[in-house]
Amino acid sequence: MKNFKAILTPKGERWFRSGHPWIFEDDVLSLNDAENGEIAALYNPGNVFLGWGFYSRHSRISFRFITSNPEIPDQTYWLETLQKALERRKKFLDFNQACRIVFSEADGIPGLIADWYAGHLVVQTLIPGIDRILNELYNLFYELLKPYSILIRNDFEARSLERLPRENRALYGQVPEKVRIEEGPIQYEVDLWSGQKTGAYLDQKENRLHLVSYSQSQGRVLDCFCYTGGFALHLAGKSDEIIAVDDSASALELGRRNAELNGFDNIHFLKKNIFDYLKEADEQGLKFDLVILDPPPFARKKSDVASALRGYQELNRRALRCLNPGGILSTYSCSHNITESLFLEILSHSAPKAGGKILLLEKRMQAGDHPVVLTFPESLYLKGLIIQKA
């Protein structure tokens, strides 16, 4: 194996030593002829070894840091790293449930996402370096987990930024179209081949379970961006009526089947643009005891932040206006470019326009199987606030 070597600029070294795992192209002083996706040794300008990283030729992020161990990462390293990731999730990983078992940089394997769905494994590879070692990882996953099937879900836009092909394919076994999983007392079906992310929003699992404590036996709930009904299903048993709104017909149809699966007939699924629905609900004076806002990312890039702020403010202002006094708003942002402090500022600006005082009861974040690296702000992408209208 050829030893590829990159020398960082002084600025690049300072950034590296801050603990951030990304090295940008402007911070690379020199690089011998590394091939796209190769593992390269990283050095400072004084030729002192810093660590190893995956090289991406077509990305602004030239290197994604792997490890500072002097030995180049090999199959033994990947095995030990995967074992640590699984050990970290002992309390989350149950055969019939769903769990993220590898979360990219947070688990020491940058560019790899792996999710478990009741015996079936769904894998996403975000960078060329992971594509190069995919067969090694497949063997290790099979050895450690013995899954029924392994599906590669590489149909997302970020692959195009790396000039990688977008595809879905079965890597092992017979991958079913739908898989039934358990989440607390709720069962629901997940579309592995074409569902959002790897099939479901696993990062909201703990928030869905937790929000039940805020529901009322005779309460009226509005679940916006409901997808296949995750929040609504958990709240249905403790609420009088739930309006679940999304603009995806296929997601709503699966949501209806999930409601039937759990024996709920008080969830009314509605296909409509959320902004339009909230505007109409506000103008008609509709009131709810609990409102959930779980929109897709509005700010994928820093240049999107200004328009995202307007969108979040509009959503939250309308939602607050639709709350009964004492009602609860559970609101989220999954845009890593929207920081928690900025999200709080959005809510503070929305409150006066909603015509009342609001109280912050709790801050929430992504589930524990999506661990956060404190020196890597991008890994803390899901921010949640539980607000009460006084």
Residues catalogued as catalytic:
334
Which residues on neighbouring strands pair with residue 365, listed in sequence order? 383
CA dist 387 and 30 (Å) reads: 50
Task: Give yes or no for a contact between 31 and 20, defined as CB atoms under 8 angstroms apart.
Answer: no
Which residues on neighbouring strands pair with residue 54, listed in sequence order? 39, 64
CA dist 298 and 312 (Å) reads: 8
Query: Positive or negative, the Cα torsion across 17, 71, 25, 8?
Result: positive
- Is the backbone of residue 85 left (phi > 0), alpha (psi -120 to 50) or beta? alpha
CA dist 19 and 29 (Å) reads: 19
CA dist 51 and 67 (Å) reads: 6
227: Cβ–Cβ under 8 A, 6 or more apart, which residues? 196, 201, 246, 248, 251, 255, 294
